Amino acid sequence: MTDTPPIDRLIAIMARLRDPEDGCPWDLEQTFRTILPYTLEEAYEVAEAIEHEDMAALRDELGDLLLQVVFHARMAEEGGHFAFADVVAAICDKLIRRHPHVFGAAELADTAAIRVRWEQIKAAERAGAESGESNGILAGVARALPALVRAEKLQRRAARVGFDWDEVSAVFDKVEEELAECRATLAEHADQTERVHEIGDLLFSCVNLARHMGVDAEQALRAANQRFERRFAQVECGLRDQGLEPSLETREAMERHWTLAKAAERQV
């Protein structure tokens, strides 16, 4: 047994893997860019474990995600930029700064007031950043976010300064308007670029509708994907029982099994 704190042990293991003489060749070849896809993948696997309420998987996936943080920090330290301790110190400072009602003298009445204050502090941080980027209302919304997530964040930023629909009924109207414009691109034989734009506008308006209805668009679509997978698996199972396979010739049978799968879920 070792008395070394687990996080220190992990940092030491990562340093060993990146040792120029005795480390792992694969780990030594990695850069921030080559590791990035793994970082994103691990974050999604954490989300999947949470969605399935699988605590054992969540423990393991959080460990994998933590490894990504340690990996990036190690490469940064090798480049003379910062170390893992600096990452921890920065987030500690940020949490204290953004919670003046807990660590300071500020008194905030409720969650809504806390959220407003949080955004004010973040805006001040953006204004003070020496990044050379715009400090506008929409500045700082990461472009690498999934499109649905980023759309919602952009909309929420704009809504905080009053650029938003007052009633959800108006958002329904907007979705219908965008849908009609999409349909028009087929009737008018529009070029592909215009169709891409109109589909994008429709998706953006759907995210707006989800936001006004209190629904997380990204999670809603992830759940829809899971339902589709589950139902289609039942369709395939039903076809196999009939000695059939999915094909154009069995489309009617697929529709019947799909309807049965949906009906079975409603009864649960």
Q: Do 88 and 33 share a structural domain? A: yes
Shared-domain flag, residues 66 and 132: no
**Residue 217, token pair as written in the block:** 């668009």
Question: Alpha-carbon distance 175 to 13, whole Å?
Answer: 52
Q: Quick one: pLDDT at residue 1?
A: 46
What range does the domain containing 233 cover?
A: 219-267
Tokens found for residue 75: 């490469």
* Structure-block tokens of residue 259: 């309807």
Q: Same domain for 15 and 68?
A: yes
Question: How far is Cα 46 from Cα 60, in angstroms, rounded to an integer?
Answer: 9
| 81 & 92 share domain | yes
Taking each helix axis from N to C end, the angle separating 217-241 and 32-51, rounded to the nearest 10 degrees, works out to: 70
Neighbours of 218 (CB within 10 A): 19
**Sign of dihedral through CA atoms 125, 37, 210, 199?**
positive
Residues 25 and 80 in one domain: yes
Residue 142 near residue 154, CB atoms below 8 Å? no
- The answer as to whether 208 is a domain residue is no
- Domain count for the chain, please give it: 3
Helices (H), the chain: 6-17, 25-29, 32-51, 55-78, 84-97, 100-103, 111-128, 147-159, 168-187, 192-212, 217-241, 251-267
Q: Which DSSP helix (H) or strand (E) runs through 46?
A: helix 32-51
Q: What is the CA angle 18-24-28, rounded to 5?
A: 50
Last residue of a domain, one of 114, 140, 166: 140
Alpha helices in 98-146 (DSSP H): 100-103, 111-128
* Angle of the 55-78 helix axis to the 84-97 helix axis, nearest 10: 110
Query: Could you tell me the maximum CA-CA distance found in the chain, to the nearest angstrom?
Result: 73
CA pair distance 53, 180, nearest whole angstrom: 40
Q: Are 204 and 152 in contact (CB under 8 A)?
A: no
Q: Nearest CA to 254 among 223, 233, 227?
A: 233
How deeply is 142 buried, as exposed, middle or buried, from its count of CB atoms within 10 A (0-12, 13-18, 19+)? exposed
Question: Taking the CA of residue 110 as centre, how many other CA atoms within 13 Å lie in the half-sphere pointing to its CB?
Answer: 1
C-alpha R_g of the chain: 25
Residues 235 and 258 reside in one and the same domain? yes
Residue 146 in any domain: the answer is no
Q: What is the pLDDT along the chain (268 residues), one digit of tens a residue?
A: 467 899 999 999 999 999 999 999 999 999 999 999 899 999 989 988 998 899 999 999 999 999 999 999 999 999 999 999 999 999 999 999 888 888 877 777 777 777 777 777 777 776 666 455 566 788 888 888 889 999 999 999 899 889 999 999 999 999 999 999 999 998 877 788 999 999 999 999 999 999 999 999 999 999 999 999 999 999 999 999 999 999 999 999 999 999 999 998 887 6
Place of tokens 């407003």: 116
Which of 140, 165, 192 corresponds to the end of one domain? 140
User: Would residue 261 count as lying in a domain?
Assistant: yes
The domain boundary residue, chosen from 81, 97, 113: 97
* Shared-domain flag, residues 103 and 89: no
- Same domain, yes or no: 35 and 116: no
Is 199 inside any structural domain? no
Do residue 82 and residue 104 come from a single domain? Answer: no
Q: Are residue 38 and residue 120 in the same domain, yes or no?
A: no
Let me know if residue 73 belongs to a domain: yes
